[in-house]
Amino acid sequence: MNTDEVLSIANQAVSKLTNKYLNDLQSELLKASYKNQTYEEFAEIHGYCIDYIKKDIGSKLWHLLSEALGEKVTKKNFKHALERSKQNGENKELDISDNSRIKRKRYRDLSIAPDVSTFCGRDKELNTFKQLIIKDKCRVVAVLGMGGIGKTFLAAKLVEQIQDEFDFVIWCSLRNSPSLTSILSEIIDFLSNQQEKISDIKTLLKYLRSSRCLIVLDNLETILQPGNFAGNYRSGYEEYGELLRWVEETCHQSCLVITSREKPFEIASQVHSFTIGGSLEAAQAIVEWQALIGSEEQKQRLYWQFGYNPQILKIIATLIKELFDGSIEEFSNQDTLAFNCVRILFDQQFERLSEVEQHIIISLGMSGGWTSITELLNDIITPVSQTIILEALQSLCWRSLIEKRENKYILKSVMMNYIAERLIEQIETNSADTSTSWGMTHRSEKIQRQKTLAV
């Protein structure tokens, strides 16, 4: 190899990792080192301090090449490392045999990813995520949103569209709350073809550097602590936070995609995260699929009432079809929202909230509109500081249950109807004193207004 070839190989490896080439001084130092020039000689020729060249430019150059080539690189061994990289590149170019299709298939483990053959809409979100992962080469991307909104299906459609950009693609589910050790073992076994004996974060990073890998962790909320503010891990699962930090902060050429109903702290500070809302296209497709009968206004009302949430609308559409012969109007005339199958979904999300968050949710549900922090403080009987209220509001935003505009907050429409229905049930059945069991000031006129909204 000559100096130009050395520089070309190095730039190619670094570009794959950082989407940038070596800067001018790094390039000159690499070529000079190839000619066996010492740091002292280089510093004198170019007019730099020896410590700056050795401890800053040189140290960073070898560290960068180590990350790009997937092995320890120093001034003494970089020639051999680049030679191996060249040889590996030539071998890959020669690997265009009939077995290559089988080989690529072996690098895909999407056995538990959902079927997205009926997926529709979300073009804007898909384009945003593709930009982040393919062009911007983000290391960690998070898809956030309330339950049933379509996070998993969006992630699966995204993987379907971009998988050919990666050497390895694997889909992992956290639905049953596996330990980090278990997940790392599953991923590293796949990436190493079951050759690797060590399953830890450091080993994973080695494979993320040496190959372009796409890893999906679905349902991250299952390892987060219920009954507390969003972002806290369950006992024994704190190491997942370390995984997110290392994957985000370490140089490599891969991407980790996570889906979650809640936002962990690590995502809040650095990771590219996007909260997705309901899908009009999906809602329309569900109504059309069930051949529901109603005016355009009635359909729009149905979409809004259930927050354009695909999972909830699938359940409701089936009920309308079976119980009301597909008539949206007949369904709307029923003075209830509390179908058990839908109620369970909301109850699960409500029970995960801390006590302060539950109080705020109910207060916002009673208000029915944009509410200030001062109004929230007045609504809660148990004394709570403004700091706690602010933390709880941030947590509810991380859970995708409320919206913020300037210094006021409002409950998502679908949750507003749920809270209104729950309050109505308590009044009508006299099961409990609202002001006591919910810890809120009783305002019957607002509850009655929410009853109107609910139906």
233 CA to centre of own chain:
16
| pLDDT over 80 (residue 247) | yes
Q: Which residue has the tokens 């079809």?
A: 321
Q: Which is more confident, 427 or 139?
A: 139
Q: Convert the pLDDT of each residue in 29-72 to its tens digit.
A: 998 998 898 988 888 888 888 888 888 888 889 888 888 888 88
Q: Convert the pLDDT of each residue in 141-160 to its tens digit.
A: 999 988 888 899 999 999 99
| pLDDT over 60 (residue 435) | no
Per-residue HEC secondary structure of the chain comes to CCHHHHHHHHHHHHHHHHCCCCCHHHHHHHHHHHCCCCHHHHHHHHCCCHHHHHHHHHHHHHHHHHHHHCCCCCCCCHHHHHHHHHHHHHHHHHCCCCCHHHHHHHCEECCCCCCCCCCCCCHHHHHHHHHHHHHCCCCEEEEECCCCCCHHHHHHHHHHHHHHHCCEEEEEECCCCCCHHHHHHHHHHHHCCCCCCCCCHHHHHHHHHHCCEEEEEECHHHHECCCCCCCCECCCCCHHHHHHHHHHHCCCCCEEEEEECCCCHHHHHCCEEEECCCCHHHHHHHHHHCCCECCHHHHHHHHHHCCCCHHHHHHHHHHHHHHCCCEHHHHHCCCCCCCHHHHHHHHHHHHCCCHHHHHHHHHHHHHCCCEEHHHHHHHECCCCCHHHHHHHHHHHHHCCCEEEECCEEEECHHHHHHHHHHHHHHHHHCCCCHHHHCCECCCHHHHHHHHHHHC
How much is the average pLDDT of 306-310?
A: 86
pLDDT at 443: 44
| pLDDT over 60 (residue 426) | yes
Q: Convert the pLDDT of each residue in 231-242 to its tens digit.
A: 889 999 999 999
Report the phi/psi class of residue 234: left, alpha or beta, with left for phi > 0 and alpha for psi in -120 to 50.
beta
Q: Are strands 168-173 and 213-218 parallel, antiparallel or unpaired?
A: parallel
Return d(Cα 201, Cα 236) in angstroms, integer. 16
| pLDDT over 80 (residue 177) | yes
112-122: b (≥16 Cβ within 10 Å) or e: ebeebeebebb
pLDDT at 452: 47
Return d(Cα 374, Cα 363) in angstroms, integer. 12
Mean pLDDT of the chain: 82
For the chain, what is the radius of gyration of the CA atoms?
28
pLDDT at 100: 40
pLDDT at 119: 84
| pLDDT over 90 (residue 346) | no
Q: Convert the pLDDT of each residue in 184-197 to its tens digit.
A: 999 999 998 888 88
Domain map of the chain by residue range?
A: 3-94, 104-275, 280-326, 345-454
Res. 104 pLDDT band, cuts 50 70 90: very low
pLDDT at 217: 96
pLDDT at 447: 45
Q: Which is more confident, 216 or 397?
A: 216
Top-tier CATH class for 345-454: mainly alpha
pLDDT at 429: 64
pLDDT at 331: 87
pLDDT at 437: 44
pLDDT at 270: 58
How much is the average pLDDT of 206-225?
A: 93
How much is the average pLDDT of 2-10?
A: 85
Return d(Cα 242, Cα 247) in angstroms, integer. 9
| pLDDT over 70 (residue 121) | yes
Q: Convert the pLDDT of each residue in 275-299 to its tens digit.
A: 888 888 888 988 988 899 999 999 9
pTM for this entry: 0.67
CATH of 104-275 among 3.40.50.1240, 3.30.70.360, 3.40.50.300, 3.40.50.2300:
3.40.50.300
How much is the average pLDDT of 124-140?
A: 90
Res. 430 pLDDT band, cuts 50 70 90: low
Q: What percent of the chain has pLDDT over 70?
A: 86
| pLDDT over 50 (residue 442) | no
Q: Which is more confident, 445 or 361?
A: 361
For residue 215, what are the β-bridge partners? Answer: 170, 256
